[in-house]
Structure 1
Amino acid sequence: MQDQPVLIALLAIAAGIFSLLGGINNWDWFMKSFRAGLFVKTIGRQGARVVYGILGIVLITIGVLLLLIG
């Protein structure tokens, strides 16, 4: 396996963990960031938490699959 796919997989896993934790822990600074603020204004804070939780799970899954099949 080349180094670049491993790096991409690890970055996807790290971003997924960060997103998942931000959604679960309801970090104020996370939810008040510019991009999260767009979700919060559109679907509410609880909806944004769900979206970020799902996004985190998806990114972690993609990262793990990249490691396994790469």
Structure 2
Amino acid sequence: MQDQPILLALVAIIAGIFSMLGGMKNWDWFMSTFQAGLFVKTIGRQAARVVYGILGVVLITIGVLLLLIG
């Protein structure tokens, strides 16, 4: 049971890095997925890149906090 918070923290950090890099590097394959595509159509590609970058930072922060607390 002790490994669950660590695993969750690592998943959050990896997802955060992936999201942040997808927004920063403007990966076409990342921005053209179904979920991201709807988001891009709604608010525009540049705004979606910013939101994905912020989402990445938030996920990384949550993961680090989980590692520190757990």
TM-score tier by shorter-chain length is over 0.9
- Matches of 2:36 and 2:15 in 1, distance apart? 14
- Matches of 1:69 and 1:44 in 2, distance apart? 37
Identify the residue that residue 32 of structure 1 maps to in structure 2. Answer: 32
Question: Which runs of no fewer than 5 residues in structure 2 stay unpaired?
Answer: none
Q: Could you tell which deviates more after superposition, 53-62 or 1-10? A: 1-10
Residue 59 (1) aligns with residue 59 (2): yes
Q: What amino acid is aligned across from residue 35 of structure 1 in structure 2?
A: Q
Equivalent pairs, count: 70
Identify the residue that residue 43 of structure 2 maps to in structure 1. Answer: 43
- Matches of 1:41 and 1:28 in 2, distance apart? 14
- Matches of 2:6 and 2:35 in 1, distance apart? 27
TM-score scaled by length of structure 2: 0.97
- Matches of 2:69 and 2:5 in 1, distance apart? 10
TM-score scaled by length of structure 1: 0.97
Please list the CA deviations of residues 8-34 of structure 1 after superposition, one character each: whole Å capped at 9, or x if unmatched.
000000000000000000000000001
- Matches of 2:61 and 2:27 in 1, distance apart? 23
Question: Which runs of no fewer than 5 residues in structure 1 stay unpaired?
Answer: none
Identify the residue that residue 19 of structure 1 maps to in structure 2. Answer: 19
